[in-house]
Amino acid sequence: MTDTSGNKWKVTELLRLAYHFMVNDISKMFKQQRSPVDISDARIMMVLPSRWNDKTQKFIKEAVQKVTMILSEQQQLEHHF
């Protein structure tokens, strides 16, 4: 994908960044509200528009699966150190 500045991005990188943004934003919201809920208690879900064609939906689903594996591996590494 290419952004408005002409920079090329991998979809997996964009999804990873979006995930981290959502997690950080939700974590801040929990802290501001002094909620007893922790981000580890939350599940983040991505909804794909039904208007997208099958090829696009499949592409995004596969990219999300790759990002999920990457994030899972990163979390496992963080727990070991």
pLDDT band at 5 (very low <50, low <70, confident <90, very high): very high
Asked whether residue 3 is assigned to any structural domain, the reply reads no
Q: Is residue 6 part of a domain?
A: no
- What is the per-residue burial (b if ≥16 Cβ within 10 Å, else e) of 50-69? eeeeeeeeeebeebbeebee
Domain total of the chain: 1
Q: What residue numbers bound the domain in which 53 lies?
A: 11-80
**For the chain, how big is the Rg over CA atoms in Å?**
15
Name the band, by pLDDT with cuts 50, 70 and 90, for residue 20.
Answer: confident
What integer is the mean pLDDT of 39-67? 82
Residue type, 39: I
Question: Is 4 within the bounds of a domain?
Answer: no
Work out the pLDDT band at 79, boundaries 50, 70, 90.
low
Has this prediction a pTM greater than 0.75?
A: no
Indicate whether 2 belongs to any domain.
no
